[in-house]
Amino acid sequence: MPHYAVTWTIDVEDALDPIDAARRALAVHPHYKPTSWATVVTVADDHDEHLVDLDPHGIGTEHASPTCTTSARSQGELR
């Protein structure tokens, strides 16, 4: 069976860090609920790409401790 990576994009300004950017993006999503299982997002800035999981243990975003994994973006990916 094929594996798919599905990404949605939203611009977030004035976030404090990648986790704050992910939280702000999900907050404006029209169908988001705190108990949603769609809590992993990719946040890119000018230099890095951050994989943020707002609920890594499946307990709900209101009580979770988010995780953030950062990797450098290649030069070809810069906007």
Which residue in the block uniquely carries the two structure tokens 């949603």? 36
Distance of alpha carbon 14 from alpha carbon 35, whole angstroms: 26
- Residue-level pLDDT at 29: 79
Kindly indicate the confidence band of residue 76, based on its pLDDT and cuts at 50, 70 and 90.
low
pLDDT band at 65 (very low <50, low <70, confident <90, very high): very high
* Cα separation, 39 vs 22, whole angstroms: 9
Tell which wins on pLDDT, 79 or 24.
Answer: 24
How much is the pTM?
0.71
pLDDT tier at 79 (50, 70, 90 boundaries)?
A: very low
Q: What's the mean per-residue pLDDT of the chain? A: 83
DSSP state of 77: G
